[in-house]
A and B are shown apart, each in its own frame.
Chain A
Amino acid sequence: MPERLVRFAESFFADLDAQLPAERSVDGQASATDFLLYELPRLRDSLAIDFEGRSLPVPDLEPLRVVIAAGALVRSVALYARLDVDGHVVVVAIDIERRTEGEGDDDL
């Protein structure tokens, strides 16, 4: 299966900056950069390799689809994406549920 091109809209980065801090916190909470560096590449790869297989349709809201993951750095994450006219994947938004205080503290 050929890989699709995956683009991230500006709104995606605005969402990300609003939901994760710019710097990694002293208690190990991931920063937006950590997410971009470590978690997003593989999610991007998943969308590129198998957009329909790795994402879920939202009832009545096609062509919008959502990739949901129990995130590695965060508790859970949802990427909202659609296909553009060229067949490229465009990720338009993100929702992140951050880990609660205390989770992962023993790793520090």
Chain B
Amino acid sequence: MSYRLAGRVLNDLLPLGRTIRPTDLARQVAKVADRLDDELPPERFCYLDPQADPDLPRPELPLVVAIDGGFIHSSEQRSRRDGWFQAIVGSVTHADGSRRRFGFVPSIDHQPKASSTAVRHVHNVDVEPRAGSRLDRMSASRKVITAAEMDKMTPQERADAVDASIVHSWDEVDPKFRDRVVQRARELANTYGDDA
């Protein structure tokens, strides 16, 4: 919807006592956009870490992605280099027919990845690693290696597999297993006293 049409709709619907001009709307939208940009967290190089979470959820297929772009020139443009920007827009249509649209301006947007992540968050389509403990995530995403597979591994491959599995913080431990471990540790401390 254009600013001009949006202004007309608002003038018809809202008892404002004054006329809303398209430029008022454009200015207000720009103000909100600036505020949202200021609230963005610092841009990260990469938002996905396949090693940390190799089992990212797969979207339900089919997934139709349409993307297009264009150069938009100012009506008061005096030369080809003056007053233009590039816009990229697209849509993602899911199997159930729901559609999400996106768009950005690469020449102006200084944090395109942070901005895109914020939009995904608003639409509840985050691809951040799933919540849960490392053990939980690893157990869920990782296939337990069978003894037969271990037979076929080199010593280095075995060492790497075990190394990768060691956790470095209690926060990474599944709460159920953590409770079991702490309880067992208490029993050991009682049994062995200072020698435990």
Residues of A within 8 A of B (CB): 24, 28-31, 34, 38-39, 41-43, 45-46, 54, 56, 58-59, 61, 63-64, 66-76, 78, 80, 82, 92-93, 95, 97, 99, 103-104, 107-108
Contact = CB atoms under 8 A, between A and B. Distances in A.
Given A61-B189, A82-B196, A66 B181 contact: yes
Given A54-B166, A61-B186, A107-B149, A72 B192 contact: no
B184 interface: yes
A104 B143 CA distance: 6
Given A82-B196, A107-B146, A68 B167 contact: yes
A47 to B, nearest CB: 10
Q: Is the interface of B mostly helix, strand, loop or mixed?
A: helix
A34 B184 contact: no
B181 A95 contact: yes
The residue in B138, B142, B184 that gathers the most chain A C-beta atoms within 10 A of its C-beta is B184
B173 interface: yes
B38 interface: no
The 10 tightest CB contacts between A and B, nearest first, are A42-B162, A70-B138, A28-B146, A34-B147, A69-B165, A58-B185, A38-B150, A72-B161, A70-B165, A99-B144
A56 B169 contact: yes
A66 B14 CA distance: 66
Contacts of B161: 72
Contact of B135 (A45, A61, A64, A68): A68
Interface in B127-148: 134-135, 138-139, 142-148
B148 A97 contact: no
B147 A107 contact: no
A42 to B, nearest CB: 4
Given A72-B158, A80-B184, 5 more contacts: A64-B185, A68-B135, A68-B173, A74-B144, A76-B135
A82 B185 CA distance: 11
B177 interface: yes
The residue in B167, B177, B185 that gathers the most chain A C-beta atoms within 10 A of its C-beta is B185
A69 B143 CA distance: 14
Given A70-B165, A78-B184, A104 B145 contact: yes
B139 A70 contact: yes
Contacts of B150: 34, 38, 72-73
A70 B145 CA distance: 11
Given A34-B150, A42-B158, A103-B143, A78 B181 contact: yes
Given A69-B165, A70-B139, A97 B177 contact: yes
A64 B162 contact: no
B159 interface: yes
Given A69-B166, A72-B162, A76-B174, A93 B184 contact: yes
